Structure 1
C-alpha cells in the first residue's frame, strides 16, 4: 500500500517544506485555557504534500478512505480541498506541543511517520470529558496513545478534547500524516470558516 521508502520520503519533505505558524487559540475548535499564549505549529500543508508525494494523496483518497469506511456507519468521503485533506504535522524538541482542540470533521486519520515509545513524549492525549477546556482538564481523565511508525489510527474526536504532548529530548522530531474525512451528516461544507487561517501560514 505504501512505497518501500515512504518514511524517508515524508521526512525529507518535512525538512524541505515545513511552515511555521503561531496559533492563537481562539478558533471555534480550540480547547485551551483562557489566557494561553500562542502555540507554535509546524506543518506541511496538504496542497504542497500532494505535489511532493502524489502517491500519498492517492492513498488518502483510495485505500485509507476504504479502511476508514470500516469504522464509519455513514458513507465516508475525503476532502475536496487539498490544503487540509492530508497534511504533515511536525513537532521539534521539548518546547512544542499540539494545540488542545476538538475536531470539526467526523473521522480523523493519523499515519505515524516516527516512533515515540513510552518516555519519549509526543503522546496523543484524548480527554474523556467533553467539557474539558484546558490541558490539565484533559489530563485529569484521558486515554494516551504512543505513536508507532506505520500505525494508522482512526477516531472521532468532535466531542473529545485532545492534544499532543511535547517530546522529551531536544533533538527529537515527531512527524505524522493527519487526514480529514467527512460524512453526509457532517460534510466538508460545515468546516469552520476560521480554521484555514488558524492552522496554516499565509
Structure 2
C-alpha cells in the first residue's frame, strides 16, 4: 500500500523515441545517469533509451527553475553555449589520487555484490583507468536530454552534441567498462556535489540483455 505509484508515459513520447540504429547507439552516452536521475525526478523507469524525457505535472518546470541554473543554463542560448564549452574543455588526461582509486574499487565491489553482478571486468578496468573524462561525458549525455526535453535545444542540436560525446568516448575508451570506471573516478575523486546511482544503473543495464549498452559496443 505504500509502494511507489508508477507513471504512465504518454504514447506520443514512446512513438517519438524510436530511432534508427545510427541514432539509437548515441543514446548509450548518458544512459546510466539518465536512468537513475530521471527516475528520481519523475518516478519514470526505462528512460535510458529516450532522447525526449517525459516530465509529469510540474516536474519539468522545477528542473528548469532549480536544477539547470546550477549549470548556468536559463534559456536556449545558454544551454547551447554551456554544453558546447563543456565538451570543448573536458579533461581526459588528469588522474585521480591514489586514495580515491581505493574508493573506486570499494564502490565497484559493493555495487556489484549488491546487484549480483561479477565485478571482475570492472575491477580490471579500474586497474588501468585512472582518468575521469567520462564523468563529464556521461553527465552531459543526461544534460543534453534534459535540455532537449524542455525545449532548450532542437532535436538536431541534441543529436549533434551526443555524436560529439560519442566520438570523444570512442577516442579515449576501449569499452563501456573502461568508460564507466572513468565516470566513477570522477564521482569519487573530484569532490563535486554531483551524486547519482549511475554505477548501479550501469550494472543493472549490463544485466539486461535488451539494453543499449549490450546492443551497441563502444568499439566494434
- TM-score of the superposition, structure 1-length normalised? 0.31
Structure ID, larger Rg: 2
Q: Which structure shows the higher strand fraction?
A: 1
